[in-house]
Amino acid sequence: MSLRTYLQKLAEKQALTQISLPVSPQLEAAGLLKALEPEAVLLEQVTGSNFRLAGNLFCTKAAFASYFDLTPREIIPALAGAIDRRTACPRASSAACQEVVNLDPDLEALPILRHCTGDGGNYISAGVFITRHPEHGQNLDFHRAMQLSKNELAVRVVRGRHFDAFLNELGEMEVAICIGLPPNVLAAAATSVALGIDELEIANALEPVPLVQGKTVDLLVPAEAELVIEGRIFRDRRHAEGPFVDLTETYDAVRQEPVMVVKAITHQRDAIWQALLPGGLEHRLLMGMPREPTIFQQVNQVVRCLDVHINPGGCSWLHAIVQIDKQTEQDGKKAIAAAFAGHRSCKHVFVVDADIDIYDPLQVEWALATRFQGDEDLVILPKEPGSSLDPSAEPGTYHTTKMGFDLTRPLAAKGKDFNRAKFPKVDVKRFIR
C-alpha cells in the first residue's frame, strides 16, 4: 500500500487530523506536529508550496503494526523474518513518482521545514537515501539534509555506515532521496545489515516494492514514492551542517559535511511531503524498533527471549527492556550481556519475566521495586563504547558506563513470594451501561 492509500484509510477511520488552514514551514508546522503528537496529521496548505505535508504517521509501535494488520508483539518476528527471506523487488512499467519531472529543480518549491529556532537551516528529515556501489550494489539509509540553496544540500553522512564507506572510496556518487514512503521501506532503511544486502529487498519481503529507474541517475527507486530528489554528492566538497536536534532532543554538533547537487526532482501530481519530527516519537520509533530483532536474536542464543522493547523513555535508542522465560538463576545476566551485543549503542538493559508487560512502564518499575537488589542484580560495565547521541558520554571517545538490571524473580523465594496477585476478570458491561 502506498503512503497516500494509508492516509486515506486513516481518514476513513477518523484517525487522521486534517488541517485546512495555511501553515508556515518556518517553525509553525513543526510546532503543530509536536503539539498534536502522537496524532497522525495532514496539512492541506503549507505556505509557499503546492505540496501537502504529512507527519506523526508512525509514532507508536501499535500504529506501525496496524499498517501490516499485526499486533506489536508480532513486529519483531516480522522484521527478523523479512531480513532472512528478502526477495528481489519487481520492476514497474510506470511510476507514480515520475508523473511530474522537473529537470530545472528548485528546492524552494518544496515544504522543507525549519523545526526549531536553533536549527542551522531548513531540513529534509524523512529522506531515505539510495546509492549504488559498483561491487556491492544499492544501499538504503536515512540521512538528514540541510538546504543550502535552490539546488544544493549539506548531507549528514554518519561515519561508519555503508554510505560513508562508499563515498570515501569513490569520491562522488549518484544519489536519490526518496520522500513519502510506506513503513516497510522506512523500517528497512533503518535496519543495520551486512555489506552487499539491498535493504529494499527486506522491504519487499514485508510488502511488494515496485521499482523504477531514476530519470537522471542510474538508481532504482520505489515507484510509489511521493517525491524523489536526484543528484550527485561529493566527498571533497563540504559545507557546515547543523545545528540540528538529534534523537535525544538535544542539539548535535556542527560538522563539515559533503554537498549534494540536485539535478532533478520528480513527484506525483498532487504529492504529499512526509515530515519526520526530529527527536519526536516517530523519529524514535523508526530508529529504535529495527534494533529490536537484533537484540531478540542475540538473547535467544543464550536464553529463551519472548519480546524486546526499545522504549521511548530511553530515547528509543539507549534503553532496552527484554522479556525472557527464565529457567536458571543466571539467565537474567546472560540476557543482559546478549542484549548489549545485539545493540552496541544501548546504555541500560532491563530484563524482566514473562508476567511483566514490557510496554507498561509502571509494570517494569514495579519489577525494579520488588524483584531487584543492587548488590546482586546490577551489572556495571565501565568505560564501554557508547553512543554519540548520548550527551553524557565522554566527549570524543563516546565511552560510557553501561548498566544491566536483572529484574527477574528468583526461581526459589527465600522469603516473601514474588508472584503478583491476579484479580478475577468480570464483564463490566453487565454492570455499567
Radius of gyration for the alpha carbons in the chain, expressed in angstroms and rounded: 23
| Angle between helices 292-300 and 331-342 in degrees, nearest 10 | 140
Give the angle subtended at the CA of 288 by the CAs of 285 and 293, to the nearest 5°: 115
Burial tier of 137 (Cβ tally within 10 Å: 0-12, 13-18, 19+): middle
Contact by Cβ (8 Å): 341, 371: no
Contact by Cβ (8 Å): 244, 23: no
* Calpha distance 45→61 (Å, rounded): 29
Take residue 408 and report the three cell numbers written for it.
527477574
**248 CB contacts (<8 Å, ≥6 apart)?**
279, 315, 317, 318, 389, 390, 391
Residue whose grid cell is 495532514 = 42
Return the number of other C-beta atoms located less than 10 Å from residue 112's C-beta: 23
Return the number of other C-beta atoms located less than 10 Å from residue 35's C-beta: 9
Return the number of other C-beta atoms located less than 10 Å from residue 365's C-beta: 12
* Calpha distance 219→53 (Å, rounded): 26
Take residue 59 and report the three cell numbers written for it.
509514532
**254 CB contacts (<8 Å, ≥6 apart)?**
120, 240, 241, 242, 243
Residues annotated as catalytic (active site), given as ranges? 246
Examine residue 243 and say whether the peptide bond preceding it is cis (omega within 30 degrees of 0). yes
CA proximity to 25, closest of 163, 131, 147? 147
Burial tier of 303 (Cβ tally within 10 Å: 0-12, 13-18, 19+): buried
